Amino acid sequence: MQHFDKIYARASKRKGGDQALEALLGPMRQTTDLTTLNDAEVLAEMTACIFRAGFVWRVITAKWPGFEKAFHDFDVTRCAMLSDEEIEELTRNTDIVRHGTKIASVRANALYILDIRAEHGSFGRFMADWPDSDFVGLWMHLKKNGTRLGGQTGRYCLRFLGYDSPILSQDVVAALIAAGVVDKDPSSQKDLLATQEAFNVWRDQSGRSAREISRLLALSTG
C-alpha cells in the first residue's frame, strides 16, 4: 500500500502545487459538534439523502419546503406515528416527490432514531461516541438498522451531518485501487475492512481527517 505522502504529491502535481491543493481542502477542516444536532435535523438529512438517491438533487431542494410541511418539520415522534393511511395520502401529495417506499422510509427511520435516542440520548450523541477508526461499522449500522441508508446514501448522510466519513466516489475508488488497497469497488466486507484499515494508516501518516483523505484521494486521480 502506498504511503500517503505519495498520494499527496500526486494530487499536488495534478492541481498546481501544495498551496492550490490546500485551498481546495479549506472547508473540510471545519469540525462539527455532533452532540448539538437534534434528532429532527438527523431525520431531515436522512430523508433528503434518500430522496436525492437516483434523482436530480435540485428537484429535491426546490421541493424541500413541501417536505418540511408534509413531515411536520421532521419531528421524530410525530413521523414515527404516521399511520398507513397518512403515508398513502402522502403518495398523492404533489408538494413532495411521490415515491411510496421512500415516503414510508421516513416513518421507519424515525423509529430507528427513537431506538437510538432511548439508548444514547440522541442520534448526534450516538455518532459522536462512535470511533473514527470504525466508520465502516457505522455504515453497516445504518444499513442494517435504518431503511434505505446503505451504500452511498448512508455515507452522504453521515458526511452532511458532520461525521468524519469518506465518500467512495469513482475517483476515490480509482485511487484506492492505484494504492493497492483493493482491486475493485469495495462492496464486500473484506474490501470495506481493507479500506477502513488504509484510512486508519493514512490518518496516522498525515494527521488528516477521513474527509480530507477522501478528498485528496479523489484529487490524486480525478
- Among the residue ranges 23-27, 32-36, 91-95, 100-104, the one predicted with the least confidence is 23-27
Average pLDDT over residues 138-161: 97
Of 137, 221, 132, the C-alpha closest to 181 is 221
Q: What is the spatial distance between Cα 45 and Cα 173, in angstroms, rounded to a whole number? A: 25
Q: What is the spatial distance between Cα 97 and Cα 100, in angstroms, rounded to a whole number? A: 9
Q: What is the spatial distance between Cα 216 and Cα 7, in angstroms, rounded to a whole number? A: 8
**pLDDT confidence bin for 222, thresholds 50/70/90:** confident
Sequence-ordered alpha helix ranges (H) in the chain = 4-15, 18-25, 39-52, 57-70, 76-80, 84-90, 100-120, 123-129, 135-145, 151-161, 170-178, 189-206, 210-219
- Per-residue pLDDT at 17 exceeds 60: yes
Of 148, 161, 164, the C-alpha closest to 38 is 161
**pLDDT digits 0-9 by tens, 161-211:** 999 999 999 999 999 999 999 999 999 999 999 999 999 999 999 999 999
The 8-class DSSP code of residue 56 comes to -
Average predicted confidence (pLDDT) for the chain: 95
Give residue limits of the domains in the chain.
Answer: 4-32+166-219, 34-161
Q: What is the spatial distance between Cα 136 and Cα 152, in angstroms, rounded to a whole number? A: 12
pLDDT for residue 195: 98
pTM value > 0.85: yes
Those residues whose C-beta lies under 8 Å from the C-beta of residue 140, and which sit 6 or more positions away, are none
pLDDT for residue 32: 80
Q: Report whether 112 contacts 123 (CB < 8 A).
A: no
Those residues whose C-beta lies under 8 Å from the C-beta of residue 1, and which sit 6 or more positions away, are 179, 180, 181, 198, 201
Q: What is the spatial distance between Cα 222 and Cα 175, in angstroms, rounded to a whole number? A: 9
Average pLDDT over residues 10-30: 87
- Per-residue pLDDT at 29 exceeds 70: no
**Which region holds residue 207: left if phi is over 0, alpha if psi is between -120 and 50, else beta?**
left
Q: What is the spatial distance between Cα 7 and Cα 217, in angstroms, rounded to a whole number? A: 7
Indicate the CATH number of 34-161 among 3.30.1300.30, 3.40.50.620, 1.10.340.30, 3.90.25.10: 1.10.340.30
